[in-house]
Amino acid sequence: MKRKNALDLLAAARPADLDLPGSPRARMEELPTPVRRGRARWVGAVAASLATASVIGALAFPRLLNPSVSTGQVVTVPAGNALDTAARNAAAQRQTPGRFWHTEGLILGEEVIGAPDNRYRIKTRSQSGLWNPRDSATLTVLTERGLPTVPASRQEEQAWRRAGKPKLCGNDTDCKNDTAPLGRTRFMFMPGTWPYGDQGLTLPAAELLDLPQEPDALRERLLAFWPAYSETMKDWPTPPAGTSLPTKDSWLLGISLDLLQRAPISAGTRGALYRMVANLPGTRALGRIPDAEGRLGIGIGWTQAVGDGQSEQQLIVEESSGRLLALQNVVVKPWSQDPAGSEGAAGLPAGTVYHALVHQRAAWTDTPARLPKGCSAPTQSDRKDCVG
């Protein structure tokens, strides 16, 4: 099911999986129009039932579900020690809050498409941005700009050429690039409290900045919101076979990763979040690993069974500064058929980073998003989007 409206897509998506780029050195003039897809999922029904909105990026796994963390063994050192240095360096960073917490990054994906007798892998890529206001009465602005979709390797490019070099639409059947049009930017407007209230964390930015800076106290503060949130699950649709509703631990992991990705939080809270998630059940220490753009960082991960396969969600942090590099999902056990809501996942080999949110910049600023001509900022009760 393809979604024409970007805000509808946001309401149906949750960021849980991430993907490796590494676009081939192909002749760009011969490559087709890029694509971003909208995918309908069970989690979209959940979001709709709660009248909430979600996060940029198409998912291959609905993170609102219990990801069954984790089945792997901890590597060499306890995971709780894995991010200690990064957490200490993150907490030591000096930051002067401005009007907006501004982040920039990439949304990257890989999937298998093509005829049954000539399947090939493609890589999708878009630029994203976010202006999260310190004043909750101000709207959050999200942006997404389409970048070229390409075959995943020279071998995949040969298969694409055998197919007649069709437009690389992925699951976007008419190549409209509705979410992230090529060479243009889509601006999306959400309430200033988005997305944390949707996940049960009903705190304005000013109180997010006052969250505890010690792991145990922070965990206790966040878990205070779990009982009310768990009550809302009584109204959720029945989850698909092989999945289940969130547990307290999976919800805590999800909200913690949301805070790390896009929240206006203090440097001390960021360091505490690193230590807290590193100590959650099932966390694996991964050592030094590359993020989706090849930057080395310290990683921790959580494995999750999805359909007849398995993936691992990875958090990667730059140790020297404590800044977040990426969240990405890696194929651990390949799928023989696409799991629900994950078209194009079957056939991806083990080790493929098939979806990624790569962080390039995060800082406070007093400068708001520059809206294109004719795109006026709506009111809190008048959500909309525009392209410029």
* pLDDT at residue 54 in the model: 29
Residue 206 lies in a domain: yes
What are the Cα distances from residue 366, in Å, to 132, 135, 166, 363? 11, 12, 44, 10
pLDDT band (50, 70, 90) for residue 268: very high
Say how many C-beta atoms besides its own lie within 10 A of residue 104's C-beta.
Answer: 15
Residue 358 lies in a domain: yes
Domain that holds residue 61: 6-368
* pLDDT at residue 80 in the model: 58
Residue 141 lies in a domain: yes
pLDDT, tens digit (0-9, with 9 covering 90-100), for 94-141:
988 899 999 999 999 999 999 999 999 999 889 999 999 998 888 899
Inform me whether the pLDDT recorded for 66 exceeds 80.
no
Residue with tokens 């913690």: 256
Distance separating alpha carbons of residues 351 and 290, to the nearest angstrom: 12
* pLDDT at residue 169 in the model: 66
Residue 236 lies in a domain: yes
Q: Using a pLDDT cut of 70, give the percent of the chain over it.
A: 74
**Of residues 33 and 270, more confidently modeled:** 270
Identify whether 15 is preceded by a cis peptide bond (ω within 30 of 0). no
235-257 average pLDDT score: 86
The residues near 124 (Cβ < 8 Å, ≥ 6 apart) are 34, 35, 36, 37, 108, 109, 110, 111, 149, 170
Residue 109 lies in a domain: yes
pLDDT, tens digit (0-9, with 9 covering 90-100), for 331-379:
999 999 998 778 899 999 999 999 999 999 999 999 999 998 888 777 6
Most confident of 53-67, 125-139, 186-200, 240-254: 125-139
* pLDDT at residue 136 in the model: 83
Inform me whether the pLDDT recorded for 224 exceeds 70.
yes
**32 three-state secondary structure:** coil
User: How many domains, the chain?
Assistant: 1
Inform me whether the pLDDT recorded for 39 exceeds 50.
no
* pLDDT at residue 8 in the model: 37
Q: Using a pLDDT cut of 90, give the percent of the chain over it.
A: 52
What are the Cα distances from residue 4, in Å, to 8, 42, 74? 8, 18, 43
**Of residues 271 and 204, more confidently modeled:** 271
271-298 average pLDDT score: 94
Name the CA dihedral angle for 113, 115, 119, 122, rounded to a multiple of 10 degrees: -30
Distance separating alpha carbons of residues 363 and 98, to the nearest angstrom: 9
CB 315 within 8 A of CB 327: yes
72-79 average pLDDT score: 44
pLDDT, tens digit (0-9, with 9 covering 90-100), for 163-211:
999 888 654 545 665 567 777 888 998 887 777 777 888 888 889 999 9
* pLDDT at residue 50 in the model: 29
The residues near 241 (Cβ < 8 Å, ≥ 6 apart) are none
Residue 383 lies in a domain: no
Residue 377 lies in a domain: no
Q: What is the CA radius of gyration of the chain?
A: 20
223-229 average pLDDT score: 94
Inform me whether the pLDDT recorded for 23 exceeds 90.
no
Tell whether the torsion through CA atoms of 127, 246, 225 and 95 is positive or negative.
Answer: negative
- Amino acid identity, residue 124? T
Inform me whether the pLDDT recorded for 41 exceeds 70.
no
Is 240 exposed, middle or buried (CB count within 10 Å of its CB: 0-12, 13-18, 19+)?
middle
Residue 225 lies in a domain: yes
CB 337 within 8 A of CB 319: no
